[in-house]
Amino acid sequence: NAGVTQTPKFRILKIGQSMTLQCTQDMNHNYMYWYRQDPGMGLKLIYYSVGAGITDKGEVPNGYNVSRSTTEDFPLRLELAAPSQTSVYFCASSYGEGTGGKGELFFGEGSRLTVL
Partner 1 sequence: GENVEQHPSTLSVQEGDSAVIKCTYSDSASNYFPWYKQELGKRPQLIIDIRSNVGEKKDQRIAVTLNKTAKHFSLHITETQPEDSAVYFCAASSGGGKLIFGQGTELSVKP
The yes or no reply on residue 39 touching partner 1 (CB under 8 A) is no
Q: Nearest to residue 20, comparing CAs of 72, 52, 64, 51?
A: 64
Closer to partner 1 by CB, 33 or 81: give it.
Answer: 33
The yes or no reply on residue 21 touching partner 1 (CB under 8 A) is no
How many CB atoms lie under 10 A from the CB of residue 42?
A: 8
The yes or no reply on residue 108 touching partner 1 (CB under 8 A) is yes
Handedness of CA 58, 1, 52, 95 (dihedral sign): negative
C-alpha 19/C-alpha 16 separation (Å) is: 10
The yes or no reply on residue 11 touching partner 1 (CB under 8 A) is no
The yes or no reply on residue 59 touching partner 1 (CB under 8 A) is yes
Q: Which residues bind partner 1 (CB under 8 A)?
A: 31, 33, 35, 41-45, 48-50, 56, 58-59, 90, 96-99, 101, 103-105, 107-110
